[in-house]
């Protein structure tokens, strides 16, 4: 992707809307994690926490895309 293509893509209204939604989901997941939503006991807590951390990491990778 060239710098021009990236600039066009990142400034596209659909891209902006998708990034807004990703930030919203990330914020909600982060708050839920902070509030102990994954605390279910035993292995289930570990699995749920790891799942949310992985989702947050994936969202961060998308939101931090650079050319």
pLDDT in tens, 18-29: 999 999 999 999
Query: Over 90: is that where the pLDDT of 67 sits?
Result: no
Dist. CA 20–CA 49, nearest whole Å: 24
- Please tell me whether residue 48 adopts helix, strand or coil conformation: helix
Q: Where are the domains of the chain?
A: 3-63
For 15, other C-beta atoms within 10 Å of its C-beta total: 13
Q: What is the pLDDT of residues 35-45, one digit of tens each?
A: 988 888 888 89
Return the residue matching tokens 């914020």.
27
Whole-prediction pTM: 0.83
Percentage of the chain lying above the pLDDT 70 cut:
100
Question: What does the pLDDT read at residue 43?
Answer: 87
Angle at CA of residue 31, ends 36 and 66, nearest 5°? 130
Asked if residue 21 lies in contact with residue 14, where contact means CB atoms within 8 angstroms, the answer is no
Average pLDDT value for the chain: 93
């Amino acid at each position: 992707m060239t710098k021009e293509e990236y600039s066009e893509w990142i400034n596209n209204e659909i891209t902006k809307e998708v990034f807004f939604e990703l930030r919203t989901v990330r914020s909600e997941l982060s708050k839920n994690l902070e509030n102990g939503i994954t605390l279910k006991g035993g292995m289930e807590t570990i699995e749920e926490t790891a799942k949310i951390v992985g989702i947050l990491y994936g969202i961060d990778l998308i939101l931090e895309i650079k050319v």
